[in-house]
């Protein structure tokens, strides 16, 4: 009997749900496939290697739809900020958190959340283990710092 890899199943479901447009904009029935070995990881500028990403469709920092894996080193906190677009996220590894109106919610592996655009929040990865997320948006990612 084969064992189902829940992480890959979650990823596939998230990628399907995203409906993101691929970089080369293939026909609607074209296969988009990224085995783990094909992912091209890059550090997010200004994070000193604490946050990295691998695009799966589009470009996280480009224009238009994107989907990407994002990793956070354990203990990484983003401080108070907003995003200009909704930010749907699937947590695949570790425990990510969001603090909204002084209420902290933790999202362990297998969790999903969708932060509304312009919602002031703090987020990050708990100190217990690195986090792996799958995110997608209708336009380029942004993180706009705010004051508390």
pLDDT at res. 33: 87
Domain contains 90: yes
Q: How many domains does the chain have?
A: 1
Domain contains 88: yes
Residue 55 DSSP code? E
Domain contains 27: no
Residue 84 DSSP code? S
pLDDT tens digit at each of 148 positions of the chain: 333 333 333 333 344 344 433 344 555 678 888 889 999 999 999 899 999 999 999 999 888 899 999 999 999 999 999 999 999 999 999 999 999 999 999 999 999 999 999 999 999 999 999 999 999 998 888 887 888 6
CB contact at 8 A, 82 and 69: no
Domain CATH code at residue 114: 2.60.120.10
Pairwise CA distance, residues 97 & 95, whole Å: 7
The encoded tokens of residue 109 equal 């592996």
Rg (CA), the chain: 15
Question: In terms of residue numbers, what domain contains 114?
Answer: 6-20+45-145
Residues in the chain: 148
Pairwise CA distance, residues 3 & 121, whole Å: 38
């Amino acid at each position: 009997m084969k064992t189902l890899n829940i992480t890959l199943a979650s990823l596939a479901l998230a990628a399907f749900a995203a409906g993101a447009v691929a970089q080369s904009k293939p026909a609607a029935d074209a296969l988009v496939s990224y085995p783990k070995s094909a992912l091209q990881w890059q550090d997010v500028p200004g994070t000193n290697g604490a946050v990295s990403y691998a695009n799966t469709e589009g470009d996280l920092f480009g224009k238009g739809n994107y989907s990407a894996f994002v990793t956070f080193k354990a203990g990484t906190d983003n401080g108070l900020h907003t995003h200009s677009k909704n930010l749907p996220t699937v947590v695949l590894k570790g425990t990510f958190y969001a603090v909204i109106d002084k209420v902290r919610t933790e999202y362990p592996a297998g969790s999903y959340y969708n932060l509304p655009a312009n919602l002031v929040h703090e987020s990050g990865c708990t100190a217990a283990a690195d986090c792996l997320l799958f995110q997608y948006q209708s336009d380029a990612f942004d993180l706009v710092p705010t004051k508390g």
